[in-house]
Structure 1
């Protein structure tokens, strides 16, 4: 059974979507600027994690908007 999200819930998720996008950009930029291979890998891993969060939130928002 799926529940409808309120407009407030959608706004909250959309805000977090923007935050995840900022995190992806920030850590990708850090990965591009560092010369240390370990740091580069760590920043890339963190950017990828935030990208997965972004993708998951985006899917939920899209699915919920289509249901309403």
Structure 2
């Protein structure tokens, strides 16, 4: 759902802001995969780049932010 919402504005030709709410205690939940925790705690790479790495997405065609 997060990916869908973060792309909706671009599809509509509008600027959007996506907010990922995350708490350190979430990481202790059994269903929370290590890769998900890593993505949430990432501050080095653009989150959009990380989210779309498995899709046919080229950031050179579209501006990205943090």
Shorter-chain TM range is under 0.3
Bigger Rg, which one? 1
TM-score under structure 2 normalisation?
A: 0.28
Q: Which has the higher contact order (CA 8 A, sep 6+)?
A: 1
More helix by share: 1
